[in-house]
Structure 1
Amino acid sequence: MTILKVTPEAEASGLTAEIYDADRRSLGHVPSHTKAMSLNPEAYLAWESLTQAISTSLGLRWYELVTLAAAQAIGSTHCRLAHGKKTLTIIPEEHLCAIAIDFHDADLPEAEVAMMDYAVKLSTDAAAMDDGDAQRLRDVGFSDREIADITMAAAARNFFSRALLALNVELDVPEGMSEQLKKALLAPLPPYSAAERT
């Protein structure tokens, strides 16, 4: 549990109160990660604005798939669980479980597998990336704008996930999540690299 003294809900005011209220409206509660990151409410709102701009441009399905791949590569259980719950609105649970365990063997289109491989590499070895990585995305049909959006979605996830891990923020398990999906979302990255699959 983080050593940071977060603002209790009953004491929240100004921007922090607005952030808490938004989560209560959309989620029914205020998650631990919101409380920790809204210690700087201006930065938190900037983060929300950034991710909204990226997801609107990229599309919700691709944004969530990139997010899940990046979070798994980072080892972020916070973001895997939170975004797994969000992804249930667009992908059936059985398919989402397969994606979460190993997206290479989940009957996804080649382009989506390539996109998720890219997010994994960015999250584990960005310094080793070169034009070939972006070219693979172009070869499977992504536009330059989409490649930029995929990159920004994965990089943004690295920012948020790594901050939560560094601050040892308490893990929230979304209400109503099945044990099967929870187990799948908490599965580690398969023991082979993206490069070995391409």
Structure 2
Amino acid sequence: MDPAPSTHGFLTEPALSPEIQALFDSDIADHGYVMNLTRVWAQAPSAKVGLFALLADMAQLAGLTFRQRGVLVAATAGTIGDAYCSLAWGTRLASAAGDEVADAVLRGDDSALDAADLALARWARTVARDPNATTPADLEPLRAAGFDDRQIFAITVFVALRRAFSTVNDALGPAPDRQLRDDAPAAVDAAVSFGRTAADTPS
């Protein structure tokens, strides 16, 4: 009989090192616990640090607000069925824009979105789902919302990197932390009906 899967994913956690401890300490400072996905990225702490540094650079280059980052991540995660980032960023988006907006973005329903949020959400979904399907016309809503070409480039890199982050997490099996599901607004929890099931016990 196969052993029960770990909520930390499919890999054996490496021996603690100063770099791994720094990664864990960062999670504790930010969230109050070490996230299950961070134990996966402990295989190469510099990869997570470098990825998030580049994400921060792109968010700054694009001039993204916290709400706009939430729209992009929630739309990307919802499109590819990533429960982990959908719970985390759906909750953050709800705090910035309200439960109705977070629910709508996760479900792919644009009726609650203003023009700027709509442009960001649709671009994120297109990039996440089928980047080869884009046309020049797909950029016009972003331009109409005030984003120039350099910002559009940075937004696209941001979405692509978030999709890559989700892909690693989903493929290697860490369960969304119980705390994420417990802290999610009811609308966000209901919208995240896909992906891996949250852990039964807190991280």
What TM-score comes out, normalization by structure 2 length? 0.81
Q: Distance in 1 between matches of 2:51 and 2:42?
A: 10
> Are residue 12 (structure 1) and residue 19 (structure 2) matched?
no
Q: How many residues matched?
A: 184
> Paired residue for 1:117?
122
**What residue number does 1:49 align with?**
53
Instruction: Label 1:59 to 1:23 Cα distance change in 2 as closer, same or farther (>3 A).
Output: same
Q: How far apart are 1:38 and its partner, in Å?
A: 2.4
**Contact 1:81-1:182 within 8 A present in 2 as well:** yes
CA RMSD, 1 decimal:
2.1
Q: Is the 8 A contact 2:23 2:42 kept in 1?
A: yes
Any idea what SS the aligned residue of 1:17 has? helix
* Equivalent-residue separation in structure 2 for 1:151 and 1:40 (angstroms): 25
**Quick check: 2:77–2:106 contact (8 Å CA) kept in 1?**
no
Q: Tell me which residue corresponds to 1:196.
A: none
The reply to whether residue 162 of structure 1 matches residue 167 of structure 2 is yes
For structure 2, the 5+ residue unaligned runs are 196-203
Cα deviation digits, residues 36-79 of structure 1 (max 9, x gap) = 02210111110121122223332221111011101111111111
Contact 1:81 1:186 in 2 (8 A): no
Aligned match of 2:82 in 42, 60, 76? 76
Amino acid at match of 2:162: R
Query: 1:167 offset after TM fit, Å?
Result: 1.2
1:89 aligns with 2:120: no
Query: Cα–Cα, structure 1 residues 135 and 77, in superposed 2: closer, same or farther, change >3 Å?
Result: same
CA distance in 2, matches of 1:52, 1:140: 21
Q: Which runs of 5+ in 1 are unaligned?
A: 189-198
Contact persistence 1:100–1:187 (CA under 8 A)? no
Q: Classify the secondary structure of the residue corresponding to 1:90.
A: helix
Q: What is the percent sequence identity of the aligned residues? A: 26
Counterpart pick for 1:126 among 121, 126, 131: 131
Deviation, structure 1 residue 93: 2.8
Instruction: Report the residue type matching 2:73 in the other structure.
Output: T
Task: Supply the distance in 1 between the matched residues of 2:115 and 2:29 (Cα, whole angstroms).
Answer: 37
Q: Residues 74 and 89 of structure 2 are in contact (CA less than 8 Å); yes or no, is this contact kept in structure 1?
A: yes
Q: Distance in 2 between matches of 1:99 and 1:71?
A: 10
Question: What's the secondary structure of 2:169's corresponding residue?
Answer: helix
Matching residue of 2:200: none
Contact 1:99/1:105, CA 8 A, preserved across alignment = no
Match of 1:192 in 2: none
